[in-house]
Amino acid sequence: MKNIIVLGGGYAGIHLIKSLKNQLKNEIGSSVRIILVDKNPYHFRKVLLFKVVTEEVQIKIPFEHYCSEGIEFMQGEVLNVDSTSKNVELKVENEQVINLPYDYLVIALGSVAKVNSTIPGGISLGDEKSALLIREQINDLIQCAKLIDDKEKQKDALRIAVVGGGITGIETVSELVEWYKNKLGIAGINPEHGEILLLDPKEHLLDIAPLKVCEKLEHKLRDLGVKFIPKTRVREYKENQLHCENGAVYSVRTCIVTNGLSANPLIKKMGLPLSEHNQLIVNDIYCVNGYNNIFAIGDCARVVDRKTNQIDSMTCKEAVPQAQRLGKILTNLLLNRPNKVTHKGFPVKGYGISLGPHEAFVWAQKWGIDFVITGKLGLRIRKMTWDQASLVTNSK
């Protein structure tokens, strides 16, 4: 019996499990044993984290939802991988450390939110705890601002900044704005006094899109009540002051940082080949360079399309097709079938971005033509992408 161990039940891990389940139906439990390992008992829907800032929302799905038909789940924190003895070192219940042997290993341990050391007072939106802390801080600042009579001082006490205008920054700021203004109204404060800034070093948001698309998105944010401050790199956040490299200073009471992801730092301990951004270097069948039984997909892998040199970015859009292909590749390997499946870069440029609870902005470019869908239809498409990524239907 061959042991396939999948480390990480994020977006890449669950799609790999689904693919293996479909392809290896008759082999699971007889010639193949598949174990999914995660430190949590649930798949965490990271892309919905911004919603936790404003509401009680369930974004954890127990692994029983994915691990049926003979697929096993083991909860444990991966401590290291020993590629010589082919074991995974795992911390399980009661702090016990065990070795889990593998024949084939898939590393899908994802990423963590980048922490910017010059913005120590800022909160990096990376996990549930940080999202709840942001909510708590905003509730507190509203209570404090209630006691301020002077209009300008009250505005300074109510200003919130989101640093980083990527998809996460845009979705967070958009979700916040209506909720925040409502909260201010309920507290008897003029909602206009609560300003929300979005700062980014780039001139335009979504700058991989043509200018007219960027401007349309920026226009939508302005209509929502978000103040986008372009060409502004934040240098430091200290004593409620946001200091920017261009000399601008903003009085800000809550600073939310959404400036990207870095590969899971645990990867560095494994002694496997790493890229300059500390992702595992893999070939076009997701095999870690130099190790024919260790594979890596998702945010922790540096995946390149050999034909176009396109490097996959750290998004679900890339992690999911990687996992689907690896399922087929591993099946071919296990069943001794010739393999023709190799990595290909994502064929369509595009993004779906929710703009608060009522609408979204979807942009796609194909054959040199730009397609933009907004409003409720855009939101329906965005929700569909969230659900497909987590293999659920019609979630809230």
Ligand X SMILES: Cc1cc2nc3c(=O)[nH]c(=O)nc-3n(C[C@H](O)[C@H](O)[C@H](O)COP(=O)(O)OP(=O)(O)OC[C@H]3O[C@@H](n4cnc5c(N)ncnc54)[C@H](O)[C@@H]3O)c2cc1C
- Give residues in contact with ligand X (CB under 6 A): 8-13, 37-40, 44, 46-47, 49, 77-78, 108-111, 113, 125-126, 167-168, 261, 264, 266, 298-299, 314-317, 319
Q: Report, in Å, the least distance between residue 290 CB and ligand X.
A: 22
User: Which CB sits closer to ligand X, 337 or 380?
Assistant: 380
Q: Report, in Å, the least distance between residue 80 CB and ligand X.
A: 9
User: Which CB sits closer to ligand X, 125 or 196?
Assistant: 125
Name residue 299's amino acid. Answer: D
Q: Report, in Å, the least distance between residue 14 CB and ligand X.
A: 8
Rounded CA gap, 217 and 363, in Å? 10
Closest CA relative to residue 224, chosen from 175, 160, 169: 175
User: Which CB sits closer to ligand X, 20 or 37?
Assistant: 37
Q: Report, in Å, the least distance between residue 350 CB and ligand X.
A: 11
User: Which CB sits closer to ligand X, 167 or 199?
Assistant: 167
Helices 151-158 + 128-145 axis angle, to 10: 170
Sign of CA dihedral 285, 289, 294, 298: negative
Pairing of the two strands 42-44 and 60-62: antiparallel
> In 40-60, which positions are buried (b, 16+ CB within 10 angstroms) versus exposed (e)?
eebbbbbbbbbbbbbeeeebe
User: Which CB sits closer to ligand X, 47 or 213?
Assistant: 47
Q: Report, in Å, the least distance between residue 224 CB and ligand X.
A: 17
Query: Among all residues, whose Cβ is closest to ligand X?
Result: 10
Q: Report, in Å, the least distance between residue 390 CB and ligand X.
A: 10
Rounded CA gap, 371 and 209, in Å? 11
The contacts found for 368-376 with CB under 8 angstroms, 24 or more apart, are 370/209, 370/210, 370/212, 370/213, 372/213, 372/216, 374/216, 374/220
Rounded CA gap, 355 and 394, in Å? 19
Closest CA relative to residue 319, chosen from 18, 13, 39, 22: 13
Within 83-148, where are the H helices? 128-145
Q: Report, in Å, the least distance between residue 308 CB and ligand X.
A: 20
User: Which CB sits closer to ligand X, 97 or 144?
Assistant: 97
User: Which CB sits closer to ligand X, 24 or 316?
Assistant: 316
